[in-house]
Amino acid sequence: MEIVVNGEQRTVVEGATILSLLRDLSLPETRVAVERNRSLVRKADFAGTGLSQDDRIEIVTFVGGG
């Protein structure tokens, strides 16, 4: 199915979760935070949150700033 991750179209397998997406992207779960369709997904829920067609996922981290 098709989802949008950080503004980019991406295909994921049926049954994919936030956790499997992070692993596919080689992103360490400890350093990121995730929104699914503008709602925060808690770290504890990464494994249990399934992805649906057209989901809009934001994965953020800390960068330099003032």
Partner 1 sequence: METPLSIAGKTFRSRLLVGTGKYPDYPTMVKALEESGAEIVTVAVRRVNLDRSRESLLDHIDPKRYTLLPNTAACFTADDAVRTCLLAREAGMSSMVKLEVIGDEKTLFPDTEGLLAAARTLVKEGFVVLPYTNDDPIMAKKLEDAGCAAVMPLAAPIGSGLGIRNPFNIRIIIESVKVPVIVDAGVGTASDAAVAMELGCDGVLMNTGIAGAKDPVLMAGAMREAISAGRKAFLAGRIPKKLYATASSPLDGTFF
Contact residues toward partner 1 (CB under 8 A) are 5-8, 25-27, 31-35, 38, 40, 42-43, 58-66
CB of 16: closest distance to partner 1 in angstroms? 16
Q: Is the dihedral of CA 39, 42, 43, 44 positive or negative?
A: negative
Strands 8-11 and 2-5 come out as antiparallel
Rounded CA separation 2/11 (Å): 5
When the beta carbons of 11 and 26 are compared against partner 1, the nearer one is 26
CB of 11: closest distance to partner 1 in angstroms? 14
CB of 65: closest distance to partner 1 in angstroms? 3
